Every structure is written in structure tokens, then in C-alpha cells.
A and B are shown apart, each in its own frame.
Chain A
Amino acid sequence: MDLLDNLALGFSTASTIWNLGFCLIGVLLGTLIGVLPGIGATATIAMLLPLTFQIGDPVSSLIMLAGIYYGAQYGGSTTAILINMPGESSSAVTAIDGYQMARKGRAGAALAIAAIGSFFAGTVSTFLVAIFAPPLTAIALEFGAAEYFSLMIVGLVSAIALAHGSVVKALAMVVLGLLLGLVGTDVISGSPRFTLGIREYADGLNFVAVAVGVFGVAEILRNLENERTREVLMAKVSGLLPTREDFRAMAAPIVRGTAIGSILGILPGGGAILAAFASYTVEKRVSKNPEEFGKGAVAGVAGPESANNAGAQTSFIPMLTLGIPANPVMALMIGAMIIQGIVPGPNVASEQPALFWGIIASMWIGNLMLIVLNLPLIGLWVKLLTVPYYVLFPIIMAFCSIGVYSVNSNVFDLYAVALFGLLGYILTKLRCEPAPLLLGFVLGPLLEENLRRAMILSRGDPTTFITRPLSAALLAIAVAVLVVVLLPSVRKKRDEVFVEEEA
């Protein structure tokens, strides 16, 4: 069977000592930084991204990057449970009941439940990726320029739908991101654009610099606004093993969470966050004692944690098959691929089978490492929480500077970090989400290229986008999403969800 052959290739690629080592380093680094409160998975990956370029081999560096991703997510839940401060919006849900469990002295059990749920979800969704990626790739190979353009529109529109706050602002952020992505030499005509005469920006704004600035630096500034001491629930994390009742209480929510997460994760625009919320809502509804939720319900930890991990994994499907990022982290992965000289898209599976299947296999290995390593290491992570923030951020700034500079040895990239840090901070203060901007930035050049190609193929006839059936269907989806988001009733509901999240 093809699937088994492919998986075998993947596992043999991922389990060389070299790649296992990078996976391990990635998982550990990701957890380490993910645990630190105030730094979410996206910022973590943005900051560690340059590090992965020091590895020459694209397979190893992407495996490490994927490891950082799961590690950071895992670390984020640890922080959410122990100090009620989610590093990431997707673990905001975990914080609700996880922190209550911790306050009742059941921190160990909560952490273990989160780990077991994540592992189960990770295993199932790895297989889902392996099963669904090849047929999707086959479809994607039929795509022409017009279809690609429409598909990217769907991705960008969905990113808007799932961003917090005002839809108009999110839309403006996407457009601004697209424009910033166009800075640099125009591929077709060779003329420089928007570089203000600075030759160093002729290759475009450095993706790493933009990501580090908008996510990393802006986040540090936000944390510096009001420095207060954190209350760490430190007493002692003991009793790691969940009781038999816990196991009984968590089994069904984990399965349901995995199913919800796997489906929603494929949606472009941050499915993992939505998945965690959806799972929490479902669990609360099906529970026999819904009044337990918010007071330390096991299902309230197990369901959302499984859902967000499943969603995190299946979000690799559009990235690997279509080259379209489903969330900012996938945008970072695509940026990493481009820097490593790989053209993201459906051809990756056929041209680089070892890379494609190696990443898929490494997802499962990474999850296994997390559960084996992190449960014993929890004590260490807890200690890390006591490191004061004012010690951390100078270290982060130093490493960011080295990292960004090491990508191209271009000092103008460092200036871009400061510039985008400032821009990111200002826009966050004005309640604009940075995620749509980054998605736009990555997709900008691709979108333009496909638009221009589609127009040349159709001899300047813009109806090509609606006369080609696949493209028309995709555009219809995009319009439908936009209309639904703008509907007053949905808008109200959406505001409620996000308000609940911030509470």
C-alpha cells in the first residue's frame, strides 16, 4: 500500500539520529520558551526561526521547526494551568478549568491529562494528515493560476473571519501585509518597488525580520506596559498520575476533541483556537454536570487540549499540499521553506517525498518525545516560571538580533526589526491583530504572481475567475465567509466568543 510505503519513508527519514536530535532540540526549545509566560507559540517560532537556518539540510530544519511548534503549544498549556496566563489564545480555554484544578492541588493531574489528550490527538491527526495529504495534492496539481489566486483569497478571508475585533481592521491588516510583501524587485519586470532607494531591500523585506518585529518585539513591549509580579502556583506539582475516575472522565472528551480539532484545523485562519473553544462548548453541553465547568472539570481540560493539538497538526494539510498557510505559524513554516530554497505547493510531495513524509512522521515522534520527556521535566518548567521577566527580555532581544543578522548578514534587516516592532506595537495598541498582516505578507508576492499569470492566460479578461468552475467555487466560499462574518447576528456571537476568551 502506498500509504504504508510513504509512512515508512517518512519514519526512516525522521528517525535518523541527526533528525531525531533536531526534533528533540526543537521540542525542548519550544517547550522552554512556550512555558515562559507572555511569549506565545508564534512569537517563539518567529524568534527561533533564524536558528533553524544554521542547519544546512531543509528536512532537519523543518523538522526542528515543527518540533518547536508542538513544544511551544505544550509549554503554553503548562503555563495556562499553573499560572492562569495563557501564552497563546488556543490555551486560553485550558486555563479556565486547568487553573482551577491546579488550585485544588491537582496541577499534576491536569498537566498529565493535557499531555495524554494532546498525544492521542497528535497520533490520530498525524494519520489523518498522511491519509488526506496525497489526494489533496493530486487535486492541487490541477490548479491553474486563477484557482490559486481564488484559493489564496479564501485563505485570507478566513484569516479575517477568525481574527479578534473589527472585521474592517483585519481586512486592512491583510491588505497592508500584502503591500509590504510586494516591497522589493518585481519578479516579472525587474524594477525595484517601494524600496525608497535602499539597495538592501531590493530582495524584499526579510520575512524573519518582519515576523520577529511584529510578533516578538511588539509582544515584549506589550508585556513591559505594566510590569507586575506573577503569582505562580508553585506549592508542589505532585500526583502526576490521573486517578481512575479521571481516566474515565477524560476518554470521551479526548475523542470528541480530536474529531472537532481535526476538522476545524484544516480551515484556514487559525483553526486550533476555534477548535479549543468549540470543544469546550460541546463538552459543557453534553456533560451531565455542566456546573462543574469553570471549577476544575476534567473534561474542560481534556477536550480543548486534544482539540487544539489535533487542529495544530491538521493545519499542516493546506500548508503541505497547497502551500497556503492556515495560520501565522504555518506562514512562518512557508517562509522557512522559501528561505531553504523549496517552493511550497503541491509539488513538494512529488519532488521532495522525503521532506514531505519526514515532516509528517516527525510530528508523531515529536509528540511522543513531548509526553515522555515533559512529564518528568515538569519540575524544571515550573522553576522556569519563577525567572523574572526583566531578565528574560534582554536575552530575547540579544538572540533576536543575532538570529536576524545571521540569516543574510544584512544590517538593514536589523533596522527592519525595530521598524516593524514599532509598527506592530502601534497597531496592536490600536486593536489590530498582527496575524492577518503576516499572512498577507507571505501571500502578497504569490497572489500577485498568480493574478498576473491568470490575466495573461485569459488575455486580460477578468471573468476568468468566475468562468472557471473551481475558481468560481472557491471565490463563492470566500464571499460566503465574508457575508457570514458581516451578518449582524453572527457578529454579535463572534464578539461574545472573543470577549469570553479575554475574560
Chain B
Amino acid sequence: MNSLKIDPTNGACGAIFIAFGAFFAIQSFGLDIGTTFRMGPGYFPLVLAGILIVLGVVIVIQATRVAGEPIGAIAWRGALFILPAPIFFGLTVRGLGFVPALFLTCLIAAFASHRMKPAAALILAAAVTIFSVAVFSYALGLPFRRFGPWIGF
């Protein structure tokens, strides 16, 4: 028995599905389950969560049998800069206003590539901001405040 050997890719994959299934199952128990005749809001999600957990277990079991391919390179730097970009935009678009929030969002995203030079990033962010303000704010008339209360205009 070499049951200790688990293919990391599929093992992690199964674990994620089991975790999601468990989350939805626990949450569903807090809702009215109902009967098959009159299903409550918790019925269908509970069934699905159960299926998801079973599938996750199947994937984990498969992971002990066959070794899959390695995961490969991971875009750490990309994830570190790309993912915060929309969050930053969300946090600042009301306070700072559309123009500065967009400029900084674009700047943050630009640093996700190690090829981007700081000066080029600044120019790019400025160009995107000018273009977007012209198109979205002036031409399409989206109701964004260009400069927000934090800046004091």
C-alpha cells in the first residue's frame, strides 16, 4: 500500500471542491429545507452541496491512484498586482473619484509584468486615463464623479 502518495494537483482540486461543498452544505442547514413537495430555499443547494462533496472525494481517491501532470509555473507576481487592481478601484472610485482611481488602478496592474519599466507604466496609465475619461465620462456620460471628496476639489 502506498496510499500516502497523493498527486498534489488532483488532491488540491478535490479538497477545494470538498471545501466548497461543505461551506454550501453548512450554510444550507441554516435555511428552511422543506419537503420534496414544497422545497424550501435550502433544499436544492443542500442536494448540490452533497453531490459536490462526493465528487470532491472521488477526485481525491483518483489522486491516490494516478499521478497527474505537475502544476507548472505560477504567476505569483501577476496575481500579486493584477488581483488587487479591481479591488483598489472599488475602494477608491467613490472617495478619490474616477480619474485618480483609474490612473492608480492601471499603474498597479502594469507592474504585474517584470518587463514593464516605471516610466512606461506612468505614460501608459496616463494615456488610459485620458482615453477613458474622454470616452466613458464625457462621450458616454457615465455618472462617475471625476474627482471625489477625498481630494477636496
Contacts and interface: CB of A to CB of B under 8 A. Distances in A.
Contacts of A425: 75, 79
A390 B115 contact: yes
Contacts of A179: 20, 24, 45, 48-49, 52
Nearest to B87: A418
Contacts of B58: 168
Contacts of A417: 86
Interface in B80-133: 82-87, 89-91, 93-94, 102, 105-107, 109-110, 112-116, 120-121, 124-125, 128-129, 132
Contacts of B110: 390, 394
Given A226-B73, A430-B9, A405 B82 contact: no
Given A176-B52, A397-B109, A452-B39, A182 B79 contact: no
A224 B86 CA distance: 17
Given A398-B102, A401-B105, A175 B90 contact: no
Contact of B62 (A168, A186, A191, A399): A168
Given A179-B20, A225-B72, A415 B27 contact: no
Contact of B85 (A194, A388, A401, A447): A401
B102 A401 contact: yes
B106 A398 contact: yes
A388 B124 CA distance: 13
Contact of B140 (A54, A395, A451, A456): A54
Given A227-B113, A227-B114, A397 B82 contact: yes
Interface in A396-411: 397-402, 404-406, 409, 411
A128 B78 CA distance: 45
Contact of B56 (A172, A418, A460): A172
B83 A394 contact: no
Contacts of B134: none
B77 interface: yes
A390 B113 contact: yes
A217 interface: yes
Contact of A394 (B40, B77, B124, B142): B124
How big is the B interface, by class?
35 or more
Contacts of B94: 411
A259 B46 CA distance: 44
A401 B16 contact: no
Nearest to B12: A430
B136 A402 contact: yes
B34 to A, nearest CB: 9
A395 B45 contact: no
Contacts of B40: 189
A390 B116 contact: yes
Contact of A393 (B51, B74, B82, B132): B82
Nearest to A217: B82
Contacts of A451: 39, 44
23 contacts: A172-B17, A172-B55, A176-B52, A179-B45, A182-B44, A182-B48, A191-B41, A193-B27, A193-B45, A217-B83, A224-B75, A227-B113, A390-B115, A391-B120, A394-B107, A394-B116, A395-B128, A397-B85, A398-B102, A421-B82, A427-B16, A448-B44, A451-B39
Interface of A: 54, 166, 168-169, 171-172, 175-176, 178-179, 182, 186, 188-189, 191, 193-194, 217, 220-222, 224-227, 388-391, 393-395, 397-402, 404-406, 409, 411-415, 417-418, 421-422, 425-427, 429-432, 447-448, 451-452, 455-456, 459-460, 462
